[in-house]
């Protein structure tokens, strides 16, 4: 056991000896909700002790926000691309339809009447040209 003079020398600035401090710490550990309600959790020692965890949580929150903005941007770009793809598809279909209509034989014959060209009634035949023999 410690003598009375040794106990006095071991007392801290607040006038409490180490045993009393340990008992108070045990009481606080047993009931953390009480520390939150009383506000003792915000003491400098507790905040400094929890600082790495707080920095980690802030970093995770920033990354979460950045990820959600990136996801929204990707969704908007995907929607824009889908709309553009639909427009190009509609344009392709209408252009293809016009081309098929214009390139029909009856439509071509109707357009060429004014130029003096006429549609053949007989099928085309091959013309053979004989080359002169020059040896």
pLDDT given at position 119? 81
Report pLDDT digits (tens) over 73-126. Answer: 999 999 999 999 999 999 999 999 999 998 888 888 888 888 888 888 888 889
Q: Sign of the C-alpha dihedral, residues 113, 119, 121, 125?
A: positive
Question: pLDDT confidence of 19, banded at 50, 70, 90?
Answer: confident
Residues 106, 119: Cα–Cα separation, whole Å: 10
pLDDT given at position 1? 47
pLDDT given at position 49? 84
pTM listed for this prediction: 0.48
Concatenated DSSP letters for 52-101? HHHHHHHHHHHHHHHHHHHHHHHHHHHHHHHHHHHHHHHHHHHHHHHHHH
pLDDT given at position 37? 78
Q: Using DSSP, state whether 28 is helix, strand or coil.
A: helix
Displacement of CA 112 from its chain's centroid (Å): 58
DSSP H or E run through 102: helix 44-102
Q: Is the pLDDT of residue 7 over 50?
A: no
pLDDT-above-70 percentage for the chain: 81
């Amino acid at each position: 056991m410690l003598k009375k003079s040794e106990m006095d020398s071991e007392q801290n600035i607040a006038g409490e000896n180490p045993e009393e401090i340990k008992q108070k710490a045990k009481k606080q550990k047993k009931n953390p909700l009480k520390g939150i309600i009383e506000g003792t959790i915000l003491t400098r020692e507790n905040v400094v002790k929890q600082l790495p965890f707080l920095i980690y949580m802030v970093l995770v929150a920033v990354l979460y926000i950045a990820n959600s903005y990136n996801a929204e941007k990707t969704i908007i770009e995907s929607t824009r691309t889908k709309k553009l793809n639909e427009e190009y598809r509609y344009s392709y279909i209408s252009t293809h339809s016009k081309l098929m209509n214009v390139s029909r034989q009856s439509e071509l014959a109707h357009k060429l009447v004014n130029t003096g060209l006429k549609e053949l009634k007989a099928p085309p035949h091959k013309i053979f040209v004989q080359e002169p023999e020059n040896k």
